[in-house]
Structure 1
């Protein structure tokens, strides 16, 4: 990518922005200094709804950069997660930018892969961000990490023994990931929010010290700040010096990847095993870590005799097979943790052991709503496509047919004496985030066929023949 000239960025800002402020100028200067992107590039911003990501999106908007917003609902905080999603969607509309969102069953992924929910959320979101980046033509993905985040990451890495790479904190640029707010401290962020009268969503889980990062944030960092009130900035300066060394290693790493890693049309990866050297081993370890293999696995893989083939290793993202003079890695399918999308023109949806058949009928005077639990008749005008089909999650609720009050879906299924293992696999159909049908059980009162209904959308659950 050509060098980003400060003059081009500043002129871009002066031409398009109504006004500037110190935070915005620092933001522009940091992008220029770190050569993050060109003014005309299209950037995908990860927005959770929290204060940091809201500020990042606002800075992009004020600078008149070309960007879109991506939001992930990890289904970890019930109604709070749904409210975050609604907030970010409205925020994107206010900024008049493209909006992308997805819901993940994060707990199921974490349980299956035997990893923490934090690690599961990280893997799911970055994989999805990269999918959107490629599909929608974004050049980079921007996250809202700032100086305090980077300082906390250094301390976390120290506890994990992550080597030299851990001392540079959060990298400013890593492939297609950029962090344009690493110049900012918390005080600057709060001042900007006050000045611009910005609203944001507070994540209640941020206060829980059961998570490692929160423990460091609330218990450890204040102790360091008693010794040095600008500890986060001091650590950021130290990390910057280390980044110069890491940049050289990164260049070596990029050359190693280009020479040794190949892929096929199915996204399988093939790693050529060369004569082992200290350099080769370091590069292999770094690459395996990027694919979410843990320390013990990486040691076993890199020390495994190349002539003993057939050994299998699993990470949450890949299955690795030690083959003849190479590693063969196949990507894991994560589609089961994503909702199934139903488009308006769809006629049959594959649900594994069952199929969902979709019909549309005009409502006539003699139309009768079927009473079978496997059939849902919904007012077509009340539905917003694409619909989503996913498993039930904690905090899900609906208004049962015939009622105008909320009921937790877990309570509804309990009242129906649905067995626990079946509860976990029960599917919901959602329209614009609201439950329209507990598939195979009950529809939501808000989507029922009424006297005003003109067109009926019929969903019929059938066993595969």
Structure 2
């Protein structure tokens, strides 16, 4: 058995990547790494008792070159007797539409399509050909951009059903093996272009490090990343336990308890925030995102900040709320006629005439009765705005809606979504809270309307 084979087999066994009877789908680009992986798994198919298939994604980036890659992969799988799957997806168009880089778009589409095939054809695992050199490049890029333990841990050896069996060997080892065994593979010319940051690291920076500092830099980084992976696992377990105590999910919002967070070491506040956001919203929380949230702890109630991927954070009494920011047009309004209804932000208001003789006052704040003697047939429903005033029922004089809501202990989050019902330029109802005193029912009232919040 060759040394490189022993190295990979030992790594697979140590990391428990393959189980007997697995059906594995290989991500096949046609390049040296994926061709090597396919040959390796076929070579030891009987040892592991596995079934193997391969999938190629034509990214439509390099025109006819991309079509040649697809044909090469089909021919290779036919020669090796491997089940072959392929799809063609317009990556440049996807990148433009979603305003992301070509690299990001290709990665997103590739994993999406691999997962589809994996599910449709009942593969147990997806094997990608990331190697030790890829891992070193990833760690280096993460380091110079700013990262924590997770970023320095490099490429995950396993992520759910995705495995990386050859992560322990370098690109040079792969190329040497393919050359000795006269195995054909493709060269993607875009890998030679330094306009892509990873290529610049690979083609310019690492050769200089190998020449002047450490000829085995990739293996050195790999060993370090394995150590950091273990440390990251331990730290994440501790952060997870703390997060469950400090943070809770309420609907589509996260509530971070300020008092509980103050009771723990400030050095891990950022980790608690980061883990909570990433776990609940399936997105990446950057260093700056976490910093913005933490700075809210010392801000006044009602202060908010926008963070990445459409999320916002808001300082409340005793807590920080993290939530998905929904686009609300504060200028929008809905016209409602008597006998009809209107809806804003999933809140529906119904206005109906009722007989005064049978109309009875309810303690339900979602139902109100008003004097309709002097109202017009046209009501407006809108969000409250600065400067709005009304005369709360039972109080002398007028009051700003903002002050009234504060007196009612309405949270800053709910306050932002507060609706008011208007008639003839006067606030009739601060919805769900109180009507205006000018619209109360008296003995002289002849016509009555029922306002209902659904």
Query: What is the TM-score normalised by the length of structure 2?
Result: 0.58
- Provide the C-alpha distance between the structure 2 equivalents of 1:321 and 1:134, rounded to a whole number of angstroms: 35
Structure 2 residue 59 is the aligned partner of structure 1 residue 74 = yes
**Structure 1 counterpart SS, 2:20:** coil
Q: Identify which of 172, 177, 183 aligns with 2:168.
A: 183
1:76 and 1:254 mapped to 2: Cα distance?
Answer: 41
Q: How large is the Cα RMSD of the aligned pairs? A: 3.6
State the 1:327 CA deviation: 4.2
For 1:195, the equivalent position in structure 2 comes to 180
1:83 aligns with 2:68: yes
Residue 107 of structure 1: how far off its partner (Å): 1.5
- Superposed, 1:252-267 pairs within 5 Å as none
Q: 1:162 to 1:314 in 2, by over 3 A?
A: closer
Structure-to-structure mapping, 1:268-347, within 5 angstroms:
270=252, 272-275=254-257, 277=261, 278=269, 279-287=271-279, 291=283, 315=309, 327=323
Aligned residue for 2:38? 57
8 Å Cα contact 2:292-2:305 kept in structure 1: no
Maintained 8 Å contact 1:56/1:181: yes
Match of 1:399 in 2: none
3-state SS of paired residue (2:68): helix
Equivalent of 1:220, from 205, 211, 215?
205
- Residue among 29, 32, 39 paired with 2:10: 29
Aligned residues: 303
Q: State the Cα distance separating 1:252 from its structure 2 match.
A: 5.6
Contact 2:292-2:307 at 8 Å conserved across structures: no
Which residue matches 1:417?
Answer: none
1:47–1:54 CA contact under 8 A, matched in 2 = yes
Task: Report which structure shows greater RCO (CA 8 Å, sep ≥6).
Answer: 1
Asked if 2 retains the 8 angstrom alpha-carbon contact of 1:284 and 1:302, the reply is no
Work out which of the residue numbers 10, 26, 29 in structure 2 matches 1:45. Answer: 26
- Counterpart-to-counterpart distance in 2, 1:204 and 1:288: 40
Which residue number in structure 1 is paired with residue 133 of structure 2?
148
Q: 1:245 aligns with which of 231, 239, 250?
A: 231
Extract unaligned runs of 5+ from structure 1: 1-19, 263-268, 331-465
Structure 2 CA distance for partners of 1:258 and 1:45, relative to 1, 3 Å: farther
Secondary structure (helix, strand or coil) at the match of 2:257 reads: coil
Distance 1:122 1:229, change over 3 A: same
Deviates more, 1:131-140 or 1:64-73: 131-140
- Aligned-partner Cα distance in 2 for 1:271–1:100: 41
Q: What is the deviation of 1:303?
A: 7.3
Separation in 2, partners of 1:47, 1:37: 18
Q: Structure 1 CA distance, aligned partners of 2:66 and 2:206?
A: 28
> For the Cα contact (< 8 Å) 1:148–1:185, is it kept in 2?
yes
Report the CA distance between 1:204 and its aligned residue. 0.4
Note the C-alpha offset of 1:189. 0.9
Determine if the alignment matches structure 1 residue 163 to structure 2 residue 148: yes
In the alignment, is the contact (CA less than 8 A) between 1:285 and 1:298 conserved in 2?
no
SS of 1:71's equivalent? strand
**CA–CA separation in structure 2 for the residues paired with 1:50 and 1:73:** 13
CA shift, 1:57, in A, is 0.7
User: Distance in 1 between the 2:57 and 2:19 partners?
Assistant: 26
Q: Give the stretch that moved more between structures: 134-143 or 82-91.
A: 134-143
Q: Relative to 1, partners in 2 of residues 1:254 and 1:293: Cα closer, same or farther, differing over 3 Å?
A: closer
Is the Cα contact below 8 Å between 2:23 and 2:52 reproduced in 1?
yes
- Partner secondary structure for residue 18 of structure 2: coil
Q: Report deviation, 1:222.
A: 1.1
Instruction: Kindly indicate whether the alpha-carbon contact (under 8 Å) linking 1:273 and 1:327 is maintained by their aligned counterparts in 2.
Output: no
CA contact (8 A) 1:145 1:179 kept: yes
Aligned 8 A contact 1:310 1:322 in 2: yes
The Cα of 1:175 is off from its aligned counterpart by: 2.2
What TM-score does the superposition give when structure 1 sets the normalisation length?
0.57
Output one character per residue of 1:403-446: Cα deviation in whole Å (capped at 9) or x when no partner: xxxxxxxxxxxxxxxxxxxxxxxxxxxxxxxxxxxxxxxxxxxx
Structure 2, unaligned runs of 5 or more:
262-268, 315-319, 327-454
What do residues 318-348 of structure 1 show as CA deviations (whole Å, max 9, x unaligned)?
A: x668899674699xxxxxxxxxxxxxxxxxx
* Bigger mean CA deviation after superposition, 35-44 or 203-212: 35-44
SS in 2 for 1:154: helix
Counterpart CA distance in 1 for 2:95 and 2:288 is 19
CA apart distance, 1:239? 1.4
Q: Deviations over 1:286-318 (max 9, x none)?
A: 44896367666676678789x979999875xxx
SS at match of 2:85: strand
Measure, in 1, the Cα distance between the counterparts of 2:20 and 2:38. 15
From 139, 147, 153, the equivalent of 2:124 is: 139
Q: Deviations over 1:171-227 (max 9, x none)?
A: 211222211111112332123212332111110000001110010011110111021
Q: Decide which structure has the larger Cα Rg and report it.
A: 2
